Amino acid sequence: MAELELLAIGASIATAIATIVLVFVLWRTIKQMEATVTLSKIQTEFRFRAWIGPLNSIKYMGESDGKDQFEVTIKNYGELPATFVKASFMMNTENIKKSDLKFEEKESFNLGPMLPTMEKHYWFFIDSQIIQKAKKDELKVFIALFFEYPAADETSGYGMISQYNPKTEGFIHKDMWIKETNKPGIN
Using CA atoms, how far apart are residues 126 and 67, in angstroms rounded to an integer? 5
Say if residue 120 is in the same domain as residue 153: yes
- pLDDT for residue 45: 66
Residue 35 falls within a domain, yes or no? yes
Low-confidence ranges of the chain (pLDDT < 50): 183, 187
- pLDDT for residue 106: 66
Residue 76 falls within a domain, yes or no? yes
Say if residue 116 is in the same domain as residue 155: yes
Say if residue 14 is in the same domain as residue 102: no
Say if residue 126 is in the same domain as residue 62: yes
Say if residue 72 is in the same domain as residue 22: no
- pLDDT for residue 142: 94
- pLDDT for residue 80: 86
- pLDDT for residue 51: 86
Domain range for 40 is: 1-46
Residue 3 falls within a domain, yes or no? yes
Kindly report the CATH number assigned to the domain that includes residue 69.
2.60.40.10
Domain count along the chain: 2
Say if residue 27 is in the same domain as residue 59: no
- pLDDT for residue 161: 94
- pLDDT for residue 144: 93
Say if residue 37 is in the same domain as residue 56: no
Say if residue 21 is in the same domain as residue 84: no
- 3-class SS letters over the chain: CHHHHHHHHHHHHHHHHHHHHHHHHHHHHHHHHHHHHHHHHHHHHHCCCCCEEECCCCEEEEEECCEEEEEEEEEECCCCCEEEEEEEEEEECCCCCHHHCCCCHHHEEEEEEECCCCEEEEEEEEEHHHHHHHHCCCCCCEEEEEEEEEECCEEEEEEEEEEEECCCCEEEEEEEEEEEECCCCCC
Say if residue 37 is in the same domain as residue 60: no
Say if residue 80 is in the same domain as residue 168: yes
Residue 186 falls within a domain, yes or no? no
Say if residue 79 is in the same domain as residue 170: yes
